[in-house]
Amino acid sequence: MRERLRPANAPMAFMADVHGHLEALDAVLAEVRRRAIDEIYVAGDLLLGGPDPVGVYKRLQQVGARCVRGLSDSALVEIAPERLAPANARERARAQQFLDTREAIGELVLKYLERLPLSLRIPLVDGSEILVVHGTPIDPSSEISHDLDDDEIAERLAGDPADIVVCGASHVPFQRQIEDVRVINVGSVGESPDGDTAHYTILTPRMDGVLVEQCFVEL
């Protein structure tokens, strides 16, 4: 069932893949505040991976961010700790991080992650619609990445009726026009490939279309 919202007519901030990095999130939010933007959307992978998952959760609540559930968010909820069977040192480190994150956030935050939707739809003032997902419209465990060709991206869009698809997962920001659909990957706040930047995207709805600004903050 689609959530019914008033059509958006003001700038909105979109981001993804915070992965528990509060410093990077705060750097992005400072820029969002500087631009007097109140509407914030986060395309999943919120808490697992960085040093301060609790701080990230609290900050997202403080700013009223509307979030969808990413792959690592689902993993925190669905994978029982006793099922972990790391086979080498790298896997043991990741398993320990998983366990530490679950313990730090506790049951209430796990319930919050469990209740997050897999997608959000945002009607715009010009009659078009944004779909916010972590991976793809049909599969949050897949991704739309910059190295896919147009046919591969079209296949992953699966005929969704949205005019703009905002996603994360791949950690690399880009935008591409696929027939009538604009695909915008907003990159990563906490785990950009170079490690020195945090990505975010501003969308400004207008009657003649949507202005897209893909931005980054140096950390």
- For residue 5, tell me if it sits in a domain: no
List, in sequence order, every residue forming a beta bridge with 149; answer none if it has no partner: none
pLDDT tier for residue 84 given thresholds of 50, 70 and 90: confident
Report the C-alpha gap between 35 and 21 in whole angstroms. Answer: 22
- For residue 56, tell me if it sits in a domain: yes
Report the C-alpha gap between 11 and 39 in whole angstroms. Answer: 7
Token representation of residue 22: 């509060």
Q: Is 159 helix (H, G, I), strand (E, B) or coil?
A: coil
Q: Supply the CATH number for residue 212's domain.
A: 3.60.21.10
End-to-end CA distance of the chain: 39
Q: pLDDT digit string (tens) for 92-118?
A: 999 999 999 999 999 999 999 999 999
Number of domains in the chain: 1
Domain that holds residue 127: 12-218
